[in-house]
Amino acid sequence: MNATARLASCALGTIAALAAPASAQQRIASRADIPFDRYYDADQVDAHLFRLAEAYPELCRVERIGTSTLGRPMLALVVNNRRTGDEGSKPGMYIDGAIHANEIQAAETVLYTGWYLVSAYGNVPKVTELVDRSTFYLLPMVNPDGRVEWFTKPGTPHSSRTGLRPTDDDGDGAADEDGPNDLDGDGSITQMWRKDPFGSHRRDPRDPDRMVPVPNEPKADGTREYGDWSPAGMEGIDDDGDGAINEDGTGGYDMNRNFPAGWEPENIQGGAGRWPLCFPETKAMADWVLQKPNIAAAQSYHNAGGMILRGPGAAHREGDYPAEDVGTYRRIQDTGAKMLPFYRSMVIHRDLYTVHGGVVNWFAESLGIITLTNELWSDKRIMQDGADPDEEERRLWNERVLLGRTRTAMTEVPHPQHGTVLVGGGTKFSARIPPTFMMEEEIHRNFAFTMYHADQMPLLRFESVEATALPGGLWQVTVGVANDRAIPTRTVRAATAGIGLDDVLALEGAEAVSAGRLSRRTEQAMDPQWFQPSQLHFPRGVPGLGAAYGRFLVKAPAGTPVTLRWKSQKAKSIETTLRLGEQVLPPAGAK
């Protein structure tokens, strides 16, 4: 192309670009806009769910799935376009957050998911497609009591992991009698230092909020140096006079160890509770999920660390993850690692630690669902150079980028046991969660990743239907059903353990004399099903990005219309009709 033409086409391209909708890169317009540059307490999260349901009644509804320990309603948002089918007729993706209430950004991430799906519906084709063909079950707060606790009580980034059932952690016959105490009234529970003439630390003269360790080794002349302060645990006093500080705070269990997949009691797994699903929150969630056999994908959000985790949680459960399923997991996880900078794809027990009875284990191993847990936020996002920040970098981040907002001043306060203590330091916002100005990006990327995950849920079509005439008025009808997505209609785990129902290929309109499964479309001999040949069972379903084949021998006159229907718990049923001898669907190609 000569230079003039190139110039002309360039200009035309520019004009075309200018004419393109200016909204394409603007924020999604919504009838119920929700800012995602801030954290919401439990009441606000619930209120947002109701706003979305009110603004988009044709696409979503709020469902109360149960009641928390302290009597709060547990609210979920179900997103489905009723016009394209009932909720249970489509593959479902389940997304929850904040079973550990301190992992607060999980709730905003789930809330964003609901908000984006209903708001972008009709405007963003990919979203429209996903909402039309799937159902989304969104539970932003599995532990709403804990979220209230986190927001209203002084705490650390790690407190309120538990639920709020009073629990006797130290066995002394009293429950929750000695938790941390906010001695300096700054709204945070921080590290505590006791005044100690033989202390291991001193305050940094350049930075009074920083503690510097004193060298351990004697000096060259044999004398030792001592500081003024020694660590004394977390901020608190001995409330119950037993000599221990903060040994029995609110709650004291871990609901993410309470699920009945490889569940182990307290001796083996701390926090597991007295038996599986003994907490109202875990039982309500489990009962709700068990009523939805169409759930084919799941995500349970946690913080922190920048991880995309799959099970097993314990080495001896490796057998629950057959190779084909692992392949499905890896495909999704590896893509996630590319969509989420600084996140790594990991296996819980191998790369993290042993977990017995976790949500992700129950979904994957007991229900046969392809389930992942994202640990939101990585400290690598501070410097964004691939490495965790060192001490200098952290100080700069806290002081200059965050302008000191996640730190409280170190203050000396009297202490009944230690005399004088020094408290202050990081607030509950100082670790594990993004600063508000970095929230939306991380939330969106995780949301987008779960949409990629959801997009892998089975999508079936008839790849081929061939009817060949045989002598004696018989027809050989060979059917191929393809799954254009990576998640099979039945995981190998589900098929092996006998979870859920088989897929069924049904033939109606004529008598099937015999039927069987084929391993390839062109296979000569079929694996026969002797009984009820009109309902051909496929225990392995349709593999991800694969196909399943079956054959019927049908006795009927030429021209008889027969209908074929593929029924699957985790995929939308499909059907097609052909007239024997008059119509043949072409193999592997046009729909």
Q: Which of 186, 185, 217, 184 is nearest to 200 (CA)?
A: 217
Neighbour order of strands in the sheet with 73-79? 60-67, 73-79, 135-139, 92-97, 295-303, 370-376, 307-310, 344-347
Please provide the DSSP assignment of 21-87 as one string: -GGGGSPPP-SS----SS---HHHHHHHHHHHHHH-TTTEEEEEEEE-TTS-EEEEEEE--GGG--G
Please report, as residue ranges, which positions from 508 to 567 form the binding site for other proteins (by CB under 8 A).
530-532
Gap between the Cα atoms of 80 and 87, Å rounded: 6
Tell me the two tokens of residue 173.
């016959």
User: Residue 353 or 530: which CB sits closer to other proteins?
Assistant: 530
Single-letter residue type at 510: A
Burial 498-521 (b: 16+ CB within 10 A, else e): ebbebbbbbbebbebebbbbbeeb
User: Residue 484 or 511: which CB sits closer to other proteins?
Assistant: 511
* Shortest Å, Cβ 517 to other proteins: 15
- Give the torsion sign (CA, 38, 40, 44, 45): positive
**Among 170, 182, 324, 508, which residue interacts with other proteins (rule: CB under 8 A)?**
170
In three-state secondary structure terms, 174 is coil
Alpha carbon distances (Å) from 541 to 219, 237, 320, 545, 578: 73, 60, 18, 12, 23
- Residue 215 binds to other proteins (criterion: CB under 8 A): no
* Shortest Å, Cβ 198 to other proteins: 21
Site string for other proteins, 338-377 (x = CB under 8 A): ------------------x---------x-----------
In three-state secondary structure terms, 409 is strand
Gap between the Cα atoms of 232 and 216, Å rounded: 18
* Shortest Å, Cβ 247 to other proteins: 10
User: Residue 278 or 438: which CB sits closer to other proteins?
Assistant: 278
User: Residue 197 or 498: which CB sits closer to other proteins?
Assistant: 498
**How many chain residues touch other proteins (CB under 8 A)?**
45
- Residue 262 binds to other proteins (criterion: CB under 8 A): yes
- Give the torsion sign (CA, 375, 376, 380, 384): positive
User: Residue 265 or 559: which CB sits closer to other proteins?
Assistant: 265
Please report, as residue ranges, which positions from 297 to 326 form the binding site for other proteins (by CB under 8 A).
314, 316
**Conformational region of residue 88, where left means phi above 0, alpha means psi within -120 to 50, and beta covers everything else:** alpha
**Among 132, 172, 393, 466, which residue interacts with other proteins (rule: CB under 8 A)?**
172
* Shortest Å, Cβ 242 to other proteins: 4
Find the part of the chain contacting other proteins (CB under 8 A) among 119-127, 170-178, 195-203, 204-212. 170-178
**Among 249, 500, 543, 550, which residue interacts with other proteins (rule: CB under 8 A)?**
500
- Residue 276 binds to other proteins (criterion: CB under 8 A): yes
Gap between the Cα atoms of 489 and 502, Å rounded: 9
User: Residue 285 or 465: which CB sits closer to other proteins?
Assistant: 285
User: Residue 91 or 500: which CB sits closer to other proteins?
Assistant: 500
User: Residue 86 or 441: which CB sits closer to other proteins?
Assistant: 86
User: Residue 165 or 485: which CB sits closer to other proteins?
Assistant: 165
**Among 168, 207, 334, 399, which residue interacts with other proteins (rule: CB under 8 A)?**
168
Residues forming the site for other proteins (CB under 8 A): 167-174, 238, 240-243, 252-253, 260-268, 270, 274-277, 286, 290, 314, 316, 356, 366, 417, 497-502, 530-532
